[in-house]
Amino acid sequence: MRNFYAYTAQHFDDERMLQVPHPEALWDRITNFLRNLRGLPCWVDKNLSGTVFGAKQSRDFWVAIFKTGKAPTGKQVLAEPVEINKMIGSPDEGHPVRP
């Protein structure tokens, strides 16, 4: 959200983030991101459920996965790192939104 407001040169109040209405364009990007996140193949790989998703993992664990595609243990979780610009992209921008 901060990046969107910085990019559009608008003020963003961290203290009131969810108490103010946001532009439709921001909601579109959030929707695209969540759809793309939901569509990642790692969520349907049953082999990962016992290793990566089996125990509660720390924030740093997930940051490593999203930045590198691999768990700190070296296990490949994602085919590639998560790129925010691709994840918020819409089909109109050449980025497919997964169902």
The answer to whether residue 48 is domain-embedded is yes
Q: What is the pLDDT of residue 27?
A: 93
pLDDT in tens, 57-80: 888 988 898 999 998 889 888 889
The answer to whether residue 9 is domain-embedded is yes
Mean pLDDT (the chain) is 82
Residue 99 has pLDDT above 50, yes or no: no
- Cα of 64 vs its chain's centroid, Å: 13
Under 8 Å between Cβ of 20 and 49:
no
The answer to whether residue 56 is domain-embedded is yes
Residue 28 has pLDDT above 90, yes or no: yes
The answer to whether residue 81 is domain-embedded is yes
Range of the domain at 24: 2-93
Q: How many domains would you assign to the chain?
A: 1
The answer to whether residue 99 is domain-embedded is no
The answer to whether residue 98 is domain-embedded is no
The answer to whether residue 69 is domain-embedded is yes
Cα separation, 90 vs 28, in Å, equals: 8
Q: What is the pLDDT of residue 52?
A: 74
